[in-house]
Each structure stands twice: as structure tokens, then as C-alpha cells.
Amino acid sequence: MATAEEAEKKTLVEIVEASCEPLDTARYVAFVRDPACGAIATFEGTTRDTFEGRSVVELRYEAYTPMARRRLGEVCAAARSRWALERLAAAHRLGRVGVGEASVFVAASSVHRVDALAACEFVIDEIKASVPIWKKEVYDNGEMWKENREFLDRHLSPATTTTTERTTKGGCCAHKEKISDERST
């Protein structure tokens, strides 16, 4: 079993500050590539062009970067403790992310595919549920801060709220919808 220091050298965690540059997904795949491994699994989260019938122009991400980076590192350490991974990379982009562009990328390598695939799924679910990164969807007729289903599922437990409350309240951001004729810049 690898020491914590060895595991840290084989883990790449990045919160990419706002820029016009796309995530360099090939760099993350190259980082996890290892001759001892028979599997590289990846997940790439991209901006889709519609949401619930509304035309999406872009997503905007904000974060408290030091906390987000630390939490993402904890998520990667948890994945390493659960699965036999050789190398692991996780990155999330901040700022404006246009339609079709990647905002988040996870790559894992392992001897067998089961570990790499399971780790990728775990890492992306944990990013959405627990890493302090906030997302605003910008539509052609307004904008809205969004919460991830994974966050809501974890923080609005069925024991404390009813289905109607979870649906109508929409979590902490439901009241922050702003619809306008002009798109914010």
C-alpha cells in the first residue's frame, strides 16, 4: 500500500481559475497513464444547451478556491482509500463555461477497470455533493443559481423534510432566480 506522500505524488487536484481556456483533458489523462495499469476511466462534465426547456447560453462557476481545493483533495484521498488506484486526477473550472465545454474532469487509472470506473463515479458525485463550487445557469432570458441534486439529496434528508417541501423549496437557491430580458455579462 502506498504511503500518503506517494499517493499525493500520484494525485493531481486542480481548481482552475476563470479563463477563456478550456480544461486540458489530455493532460489529465496523460497524468494518470501508467504502464502498470490496464484501465483508465474518465468523466467529463460539459455544459448542455438546454435545461427543462430553457435555452442555456453558458454556466458560471464560483468557489472559495482554497476550501474547494482542500475538499477536492479529501475526496480524492477517500477514493484512494476505497479502491486500488494507481493515479488519480480531478479538475474543476471556474468562471464562464460555454455550451459544449468541459467544466469538470476526473481521470483514474488502476490495474482493473472496476476500480477506475467506481472511483470516477464516486469522485464526480462527491464533487457535486460536497465541494464548495457554486453554479449559475445563464439562459437566453435570465439566469439562476443552481444546486446539484447530490447536494440536495445529502442535505435535505427525508427524515426532516417532505417531498413537497424539497420540490417547492428547491433548497437554498430557489429564491435566487432572476429572469430578465437582458443577459448579464
- Could you read off the pLDDT of 32-49 as tens digits, one per residue? 999 999 999 999 999 999
Domain region containing 37? 4-133
Can you give the pTM of this predicted structure? Answer: 0.81
Q: What is the mean pLDDT of residues 76-89?
A: 98
Q: What is the pLDDT of residue 12?
A: 97
Tell me whether residue 63 is in a domain: yes
Residue 21 — pLDDT band, cuts 50, 70, 90?
confident
Q: What is the pLDDT of residue 45?
A: 97
Tell me whether residue 20 is in a domain: yes
Tell me whether residue 9 is in a domain: yes
Tell me whether residue 79 is in a domain: yes
CATH number at residue 48: 3.90.1170.40
Does the pLDDT value for residue 87 go beyond 60? yes
What is the total count of domains within the chain? 1
Tell me whether residue 118 is in a domain: yes
Tell me whether residue 82 is in a domain: yes
Tell me whether residue 27 is in a domain: yes
Tell me whether residue 69 is in a domain: yes
Does the pLDDT value for residue 27 go beyond 70? yes
Query: What secondary structure, in 3-state letters, does the chain show?
Result: CCCHHHHHHCEEEEEECCCCCCCCHHHHHHHHCCCCCCEEEEEEEEECCEECCEEEEEEEEEECHHHHHHHHHHHHHHHHHHCCCCEEEEEEECEEEEECCEEEEEEEEECCHHHHHHHHHHHHHHHHHHCCEEEEEEECCEEEEECCHHHHHHHCCCCCCCHHHHHHHCHHHHHHCEECCCCCC
